[in-house]
Amino acid sequence: MKAKTVQLPDGTTVPAIGQGTWYMGERNSEFRSEVNALKQGLDAGMTLIDTAEMYAEGGAERVVGEAIAGRRDDVFLVSKVYPHNAGGAKAITACEQSLKRLQTDCIDLYLLHWRGSIPLHDTVAAMEKLQQAGKIRRWGVSNLDTQDMQSLWKVPGGMKCMTNQVLYHAAARGIEFDLLPWCEEHAVPVMAYCPLAQAGQLRHDVLTAPVMQQIAKARGVSSSQIALAWVVRSGNVIAIPKAVQPQHVKENAAALTLNLTEDEIAQIDKVFPAPRHKTPLDMV
């Protein structure tokens, strides 16, 4: 079966499931296994890697740099700038430092990590400057709710935003009320973080939910794979699960070819219903 992909507004195709890196690069003793996990994921088709200058204060970018060494062209590299660095000369310095840690001269997609106090106008200007200098190919945002996206669309050049990376999984469907429809209407794919409903020590009950386990058992796959197939079901969402254990990496990559049926989606809807009203954007 064909691996699922998502198209960015500029026509670039990326895999619907990539690899996250939060909590990588924290400990030297884990460095090698984290590098190997990312390499395994690349080999298996999860060629989009998401990282950030924030993760382990550059440590995760160092892991990524090692994992992509010698195969940069096979990778779609996403990194994020701290809000307090997202403007003026600070943005240029932050990006250059990320590039050094990533051992590359260009980031494919550079995101504003969340909205801080620097005006969006200044962030867009900095992103354009980085683009003109060839240090980034595209830019996007993260953790922006509908109103923020509307504000961004009013900024000159703001409509060049390639994605909005937000929290999304079956137990956190708030974005389906208005943000996801807004993004679909404006052809901005959403990049779903915490697609396995986990973040550090935080655990939601998605993977252990009987509905996920029953569907998984009937399909002969894991409930994580059902959770991922659910997140990317529309074709407009990219999931970026983070995995270090080889079995996890293998499962996540295999979910690229897993399609849920209408009936399975309806079963999940019953347990994890779509939102009926606006809720504040979920974040970790």
In the complex, the residues that contact ligand NDP under the rule CB under 6 A are 20-22, 50, 113, 142-143, 165, 193-199, 222, 224, 240-245, 248, 251-252, 284
Distance CA 156, CA 160 (A): 9
The closest residue (CB) to ligand NDP is: 20
Least distance in angstroms from the C-beta of 21 to ligand NDP: 5
Give the Å distances, CA to CA, from 151 to 147, 158, 240.
6, 9, 26
Residue with tokens 């809720």: 279
Q: How far is the CB of 226 from ligand NDP (least distance, A)?
A: 10
**Do you know the residue count of the chain?**
284
- C-beta closer to ligand NDP: residue 104 or 165: 165
Instruction: Give the whole-angstrom CA distance, residue 91 versus residue 107.
Output: 13
Tell me how far, at minimum, the Cβ of 107 lies from ligand NDP, in Å: 14
Smallest gap from Cβ 124 to ligand NDP, in A, equals 18
Closer by beta carbon to ligand NDP, 40 or else 142? 142
First to last CA, the chain: 34
> For residues 104 and 252, which CB has a smaller minimum distance to ligand NDP in the complex?
252
Residues 6+ apart with CB under 8 A from 102: 51, 61, 64, 65, 68, 77, 79
Identify which of residues 22 and 89 has a Cβ nearer to ligand NDP in the complex: 22
Nearer to ligand NDP, 63 or 194 (CB): 194
Query: Judged by CB, which is closer to ligand NDP: 115, or 242?
Result: 242
Nearest-approach distance from CB 80 to ligand NDP, in angstroms: 6
Q: How far is the CB of 63 from ligand NDP (least distance, A)?
A: 11
**Cβ contact 17:232 at 8 Å:** yes
User: CB under 8 Å to 6, separation ≥6 — which residues?
Assistant: 13, 14, 15, 16, 189, 232, 235, 236, 237, 238
Pairwise CA distance, residues 64 & 34, whole Å? 9
Pair of tokens at residue 8: 């960015």
